[in-house]
Amino acid sequence: MIEVYLNLNGNTDEAAAYYARAFDAPEPYVMRYAQMPPAEQGKVSDDWKNLVIHANVKTFAGDIMLSDNPPDQESAPSAALNICLSHTDLERLRRVFERLAKDGEVIMPLEPTFFSPLFGQVRDKFGFYWMIMSSEDIKF
């Protein structure tokens, strides 16, 4: 199994809630640095305490895991990496695509292609790139 783990720069709370809404998922699990075992808390500075060390959004297609980068280690999403969501439920795929596109950018509209009954690409509001496709009757 391959799962996605997204690193953000201090806005993991917002992102986890956003993905939970986009996927009609339950409330995400969120653990902060302040919730680490007491013996481990001395290893992080006070400005990290409210950052998210780990979050998990349980979706119909698998887990989206997330965390905040330490303040001195920023990162940015890359167009060289796409999160691929494939599923047989076309209506669910359409809803997720529309929700990710609402505050993001459509790269390729969600429509039938020669290799899949439904395929599209979107960049979400956090800058992550998604390929959304039907896993039914894929021709490759």
Same-domain check for residues 90 and 37: no
Same-domain check for residues 94 and 46: no
Query: If we measure between CA atoms, which residue out of 71, 72, 78, 88 comes closest to residue 123?
Result: 78
In a domain, 123, yes or no: yes
In a domain, 75, yes or no: no
In a domain, 53, yes or no: yes
Which single residue is written with the structure tokens 């020669």? Answer: 114
In a domain, 41, yes or no: yes
Can you give the C-alpha Rg of the chain in angstroms?
A: 17
Domain count, the chain: 2
Q: Among residues 35, 68, 101, which one ends one of the domains?
A: 68
Question: What are φ and ψ of residue 138, in 5° steps?
Answer: -70, 135
In tens, the pLDDT along 23-67 reads: 999 999 999 999 988 777 777 788 888 999 999 999 999 999 999
Q: What is the CATH number of the domain that holds 8?
A: 3.10.180.10
Q: What is the pLDDT of residue 76?
A: 92
Return d(Cα 124, Cα 108) in angstroms, integer. Answer: 13
Q: What is the CATH number of the domain that holds 90?
A: 3.30.720.110
What letters, b where the CB count within 10 A reaches 16 and e where it falls short, cover 7-41?
Answer: bbeeebbebbebbbebbebeebebebbeebeeeee
Same-domain check for residues 15 and 62: yes
Same-domain check for residues 13 and 64: yes
Other CB atoms within 10 A of residue 76 CB: 9
In a domain, 73, yes or no: no
In a domain, 111, yes or no: yes
Return d(Cα 27, Cα 30) in angstroms, integer. Answer: 9
What is the reported pTM? 0.92
In a domain, 140, yes or no: no
> For residue 69, is pLDDT > 60?
yes
Q: For residue 8, give its domain range.
A: 4-68
> For residue 18, is pLDDT > 90?
yes
Angle (nearest 5°) at CA 32 between 102 and 124:
15
Same-domain check for residues 63 and 87: no
Q: What is the pLDDT of residue 123?
A: 98
